[in-house]
Chain A
Amino acid sequence: MTSLVIAEHDNATIKAATLNTVTAAVKCGGDVHVLVAGANASAAAAQAAQIAGVSKVLHVEGEGFAHGLAENVAAQVLALASAYSHIVFPATASGKNIAPRVAAKLDVAQISDVTQVDSADTFERPIYAGNAIAIVQSLDVIKVLTVRTTGFDPAAATGGSATVESVTAVPANDKAVFVKAEIAKNDRPELTSAKIIVSGGRALASAEKFNEVMTPLADKLGAAMGASRAAVDAGYAPNDWQVGQTGKIVAPQLYIACGISGAIQHLAGMKDSKVIVAINKDAEAPIFSVADYGLEADLFVAVPELVAAL
């Protein structure tokens, strides 16, 4: 029994989500191999070899992998799949894009957003926006999984000594072509791996206010910034800040929700945080039902006060 983890990387470095995915793969039992498919990705492959628990890194070079196009990466995984019992992706935008393609070609079901590995074929996953947990058993020979990264601790990034093996690349598909990316420049910690997140909702009322009120708090705490869907849809915050069922799933040490009512779709994205603080002027807001500390106050007064008190 051997698992293949599909590494998420930007060709130069391995992304944090890969480390949590390795932990999940180790729990499936057997050896763990990591696939690094990229363009000029030898640095990322070398880094993958350092991850504790990994016994082999498969390194594939090809221009078609430069931007992680699903058509090309899935074809590469399929070329290797027969040697593995588990094929494991992080449940990130990239993993979710590729994994079902691999599963369908193998004619196996895929299990999404696994939060716990009970045994080699039995997994737990949330359904209905996290309002229920399904314990499911795969009846297929090869298990294709995506792993919710907040459900697993990250594997140590160093201490491993895996061998790096070069693999022949499959030819690139020409039906899908990468055109451009607009990646937001950000000095803050990455939302999904941040220890502290400060998150704002519709009550902030404008992009200027969002920035003016929330940024000092995030700066003071060294926190990542998040937002509710209402704030994103209204244009107060960029869409990759959205926390919730259909946005990012986070589980920081501290989550501070300011002016967020707490719709079930939002709670689904943050209720596994260790400590939740809610600041809202509506005492009936559902967010208070999951908050460890609730403060009924106008956020435009309370947040600057909080910044001053820290």
Chain B
Amino acid sequence: MKALVAVKRVVDYNVKVRVKSDQTGVDIANVKMSMNPFDEIAVEEAVRLKEKGIVTEIIAVSCGVTQCQETLRTAMAIGADRAILVETSEELQPLAVAKLLKALFDKEQPGLVFLGKQAIDDDCNQTGQMLAALADLPQATFANKVEVVDGKASVTREVDGGLETLSITLPAVITTDLRLNEPRYVTLPNIMKAKKKQLDIFKPEDLGVDVTPRIKTLKVTEPAKRSAGIMVPDVATLVDKLKNVSKVI
């Protein structure tokens, strides 16, 4: 079966972003961009299923600006077989991306769709669930372990208080949590090979999807700053401060 993996180009997770002075957003000009860390885990999981002979072809998909091609090349260097870019300069919100992925799901008919549990820029944690709803598929979010047997996936999920295991009928949508796997490093030969792999480009109109934003960002502000703290010389002073100044114990 085919696997579809959605990847997003985001500000690198090590970068501390700054809010623009006109409060229209965060400043991402000249900032290092990378593949969303959860998406790397998603690609890695698809590649491992291919190595086990369960998945036959991996299609990486990204939606956004032209530069997302770099993210797709990275996915192909990890092991995706080909890639699709849905190119638009419009701001894409999760509902729009879910609709684009639904259109590609219908076109490609994969048995599994992998996404990261959330993107580290908008912190939404919605797209996988929305795709599952639109395509009427079962979902397993926050996956920690995935086993595919006889047209079903047994997925262990990270939930509040521990772990939970579900059995879902394929096709299905799985979103990855941090501990699902350790993504491999891409090697130079694989980066070179990835340059030769097929990358198709569509526009949202080609897929018949309206991507107009449904949420208007009025303003983006700095979070409230914490007032500067003090360094204490020893444990006794610390206990005294907590008991008598802050009165928290």
- Show the binding face of A for B, using Cβ within 8 Å: 67, 69-71, 74, 92-94, 96-105, 107-113, 122, 125-140, 173-184, 186, 192, 196, 221, 229, 232-233, 238-240, 245-246, 248, 253-254, 264-265, 271, 274-277, 288, 290-297, 302, 305-306, 309-310
Contact = CB atoms under 8 A, between A and B. Distances in A.
Q: Which has the most chain A C-beta neighbours within 10 Å: B17, B131, B178, B235?
A: B235
Contacts of B94: 100, 109-110
Interface string B219-244: 11111001001111011101101100
B129 A70 contact: yes
A271 B226 contact: yes
A102 B124 CA distance: 15
A290 to B, nearest CB: 5
B215 A177 contact: no
B205 interface: no
Given A133-B222, A179-B167, A246-B118, A109 B95 contact: yes
A277 B142 CA distance: 31
B130 interface: yes
A246 B176 CA distance: 11
B220 A290 contact: no
Nearest to A137: B216
The 4 A-B residue pairs whose C-beta atoms are closest, nearest first, are: A100-B129, A104-B130, A109-B214, A100-B126
Given A184-B162, A245-B120, A294 B230 contact: yes
Interface secondary structure of B, over-half rule: mixed
Interface stretch (B1-9, B58-66, B67-75, B132-140): B132-140
Interface of B: 11, 13, 16-17, 19, 26, 38, 93-95, 98, 117-118, 120-134, 137-142, 144, 154, 157-169, 172, 177-179, 213-223, 226, 229-232, 234-236, 238-239, 241-242, 246, 248-249
B244 to A, nearest CB: 12
Contact of B214 (A138, A177, A264): A138
A196 B168 contact: no
B229 A110 contact: no
Contacts of B123: 112-113, 125-129, 245
Contacts of B241: 293
Contacts of B217: 134-136
B160 A92 contact: yes
A74 B129 CA distance: 11
Contacts of B137: 175
Q: Which has the most chain B C-beta neighbours within 10 Å: A100, A130, A184, A233?
A: A100
A179 B154 contact: yes
A128 B221 contact: no
A182 B161 CA distance: 8
Contacts of B158: 93, 239-240
B26 A128 contact: yes
A265 B13 contact: yes
Contacts of A125: 123
A115 B165 CA distance: 31
Nearest to B178: A246
